[in-house]
Structure 1
Amino acid sequence: MSDVIDREGTEKPRRDDPTVEQLEEEGEIAADYIEEFLDICDLDGDLEIDVRNGRAYISVTATGESNLRVLAKPDVVGALQELVRLVVQNTNGSFSRLILDVGGSRDARQAELARLVDAAIARIEGGAQDAALPPMSSYERKLVHDLVSERGFVSESSGEGHDRHTVITRS
């Protein structure tokens, strides 16, 4: 595999499976960018960096009477996550699979996905052959696949691009 050139012009080997140290570096780059972003927006928040499942996770939590909730909407978090991934990629020359959580938005979305899965399974138990969920990101589809499997059903992704969604069937 060929090397990549970072923004300082230094060659770095391309990485398929990043090490914990590389993921921690991604987290630090992302945290620095988010801190600066929060300062510019005059928002208060504490940052926590974690590495698990081959990804860097950045959590931004509210401190006291924070106005952080303006960023905690799913579409805003998704857009900010993509922006932070681009910053990391531009800095170290490697694709990032970093996950960003702002104000507990990921937990709220996971609970929403669980409700969607439960409703879809109820439709199947009521006689439907299958149940399709709305389009979602690959990360969210992965969470859905795990939830469906835990409930004893089968799921697969279908569609292309922004229309990619999950279809649930009996096992």
Structure 2
Amino acid sequence: MEIDTNEVIEVTREVVGRLPVELQDVTYVADALHPIISVKVGNAKRLIGARGEHLRALNTLVKRIMEQRTGVEHANFLIDVNHYQQERNEEVRRKAKVIIERVRSFRSSAQLDPLSAYERMLVHSMVADDPEIVTESSGEGKDRRLTVRFVERPAEVPDTFSEPPLV
């Protein structure tokens, strides 16, 4: 069962409207991974918090309210404030791309700085179809990190039982 985006927008308006920020707009934006509820406010720093901590709390709060109202757990949407999450995701992708290429070039491994669950999922999805690169999450809570490793794949062995070419 999918969540009604209009209801998510309404709940987001209700929650943000009670906070000491100037709410300007709440809209829905289609995205490849998750629907995004885009919030525009006057003083974004207060709503985003240090390293996005308040924004993560807002996402959790709205998702819990939606779970109670609809009975749907693990709702598939993301709240973004003044494009903070969009810019952060682009930054995570850029850094991950550099690390992934470095790991591939040096045939080694590297650990990224702590990332949120969503950010780790972004990096996991970047290498999901790459046979030479794997990612592993480790650690707990805010210290949960992602390790990017090069995996040596055995060379393909030619089929010695195939028929010889016709001359």
> Shared topology, TM-score over 0.5?
yes
Residue 63 (structure 2) aligns with: 85
What's the RMSD between the two structures over aligned residues?
2.9
Q: Distance in 2 between matches of 1:140 and 1:81?
A: 14
Change (3 A) 1:92 1:161: farther
Q: Which moved more, 1:138-147 or 1:49-58?
A: 49-58
After TM superposition, give the deviation of residue 111 of structure 1 in Å. Answer: 2.5
Larger Rg: 2
Residue 44 (structure 2) aligns with: 68
Deviations 1:52-99 (A, max 9, x none): 55744211124xxx2234223411111110011001001111112321
Deviations 1:23-59 (A, max 9, x none): 2x1x233222221233222422211124555744211
Instruction: Say whether the 8 Å CA contact 1:131–1:169 is kept in structure 2.
Output: yes
Code of the residue aligned with 1:39 in structure 2: it is: G
Q: TM-score, normalised by structure 2?
A: 0.69
Q: Which moved more, 1:80-89 or 1:107-116?
A: 107-116
Aligned residues: 146
Q: Which moved more, 1:113-122 or 1:98-107?
A: 113-122
The answer to whether the aligner puts 1:165 opposite 2:145 as a matched pair is yes
The answer to whether the aligner puts 1:140 opposite 2:119 as a matched pair is yes
Three-state SS of the structure 1 residue aligned to 2:23 is coil
Q: Where does the alignment leave 5 or more consecutive residues of structure 2 unmatched?
A: 152-167
Q: Distance in 2 between matches of 1:56 and 1:110?
A: 14
Q: Distance in 1 between matches of 2:129 and 2:89?
A: 14
Identity %: 23
